[in-house]
Amino acid sequence: MRDEVFRSPRSQIVDFVFDESVAAAFPDMIRRSVPGYETVIPLTGLIAARHARSGAKCYDLGCSLGATSMAVLQQLETPNCSIVAVDNSAPMLERARALHGNQTRIEWVQADVRDVPIENACAVLMNYTLQFVPIEDRLPLLRRIREGLDPSGVLIVSEKVRFADDWQQNYFDHTHVAYKRANGYSALEVAQKRAALEKVLIPDRIEDHEARFRAAGFGRVHTWFRCLNWVSFVAML
């Protein structure tokens, strides 16, 4: 379904939620809104599969419709390695199960990512998820992930980022708006969605992410993908 969630004028803009209307249009929404999405997802699966271990688990935290989980599954050659796909949105998981419910190696879990035990993990993937977690809960979540991650495991985090330099922030912010306009969104759609996300999606600086990874106990942190104001990190022990 084409994303028309914010097409009509709204008298009041409420906070963005992953409801049925968003779930129905989500593939089109994220493809047209997030630069590099169609590169990041398959490469996430490729990287995660390299760390797979028989008997271990890959966690897809904030799985939405399961694109990342499926990307892992397509690359996964290791036997007896399962995927735990977690999301707190019932409409998202309902559609994910309808799309991929025949995949027996994926366990679909409706829960807050902050509450899910991370155990025997060879890979933990958070594509565009941490930015929706309250700032004060981000470090505790990363620490729990590190505690449940194999010594040879990997954490991948993809996020929208902000910049300390005002010129740089303004330049990439306006370029991102131009990207969405080039993908068919109207000025009204861009403005209304931005207002809905303002208090929900809270980006960090790249430096803040890197410092938080290290504070959580990750010894190796690398930016492996960047496009405009969207970045993907890989972190290992």
β-pair type (149-162, 121-127):
parallel
Q: Please answer whether residues 156 and 48 qualify as being in contact, where contact means their C-beta atoms are separated by less than 8 angstroms.
A: yes
Q: Which of 66, 18, 32, 79 is nearest to 183 (CA)?
A: 32
Q: Please answer whether residues 132 and 200 qualify as being in contact, where contact means their C-beta atoms are separated by less than 8 angstroms.
A: yes
Q: Which of 49, 66, 67 is nearest to 58 (CA)?
A: 49
Could you count the other beta carbons within 10 Å of the beta carbon of residue 77?
7
% pLDDT > 70, the chain: 100
Gap between the Cα atoms of 181 and 192, Å rounded: 13
Residue of 56 and 101 predicted with greater confidence: 56
Contacts of 101 (CB under 8 A, 6+ apart): 108
First to last CA, the chain: 41
Predicted pLDDT of residue 130: 98
Give the model confidence (pLDDT) of 64-96 as tens digits. Answer: 999 999 999 999 999 999 999 999 999 999 999
Predicted pLDDT of residue 2: 96
Give the model confidence (pLDDT) of 151-192 as tens digits. Answer: 999 999 999 999 999 999 999 999 999 999 999 999 999 999
Q: With 90 as the cut, is the pLDDT of residue 106 above it? A: yes
Max Cα–Cα distance, the chain, nearest Å: 53
Lookup result for tokens 């306006």: 174
Gap between the Cα atoms of 66 and 85, Å rounded: 7
**Amino acid identity at 26:** F
Predicted pLDDT of residue 200: 97
Q: Please answer whether residues 81 and 57 qualify as being in contact, where contact means their C-beta atoms are separated by less than 8 angstroms.
A: yes
Q: Please answer whether residues 235 and 209 qualify as being in contact, where contact means their C-beta atoms are separated by less than 8 angstroms.
A: no
Strand partners, 82: 57
Predicted pLDDT of residue 62: 98
Q: Please answer whether residues 80 and 117 qualify as being in contact, where contact means their C-beta atoms are separated by less than 8 angstroms.
A: no
Average pLDDT over every residue of 22-27: 98
Q: How confident is the model at residue 101 (pLDDT cuts 50, 70, 90)?
A: confident
Give the model confidence (pLDDT) of 116-159 as tens digits. Answer: 999 999 999 999 999 999 999 999 999 999 999 999 999 999 99
Per DSSP, which regions of the chain are E strands? 57-61, 82-87, 106-110, 121-127, 149-162, 204-205, 220-227, 230-236
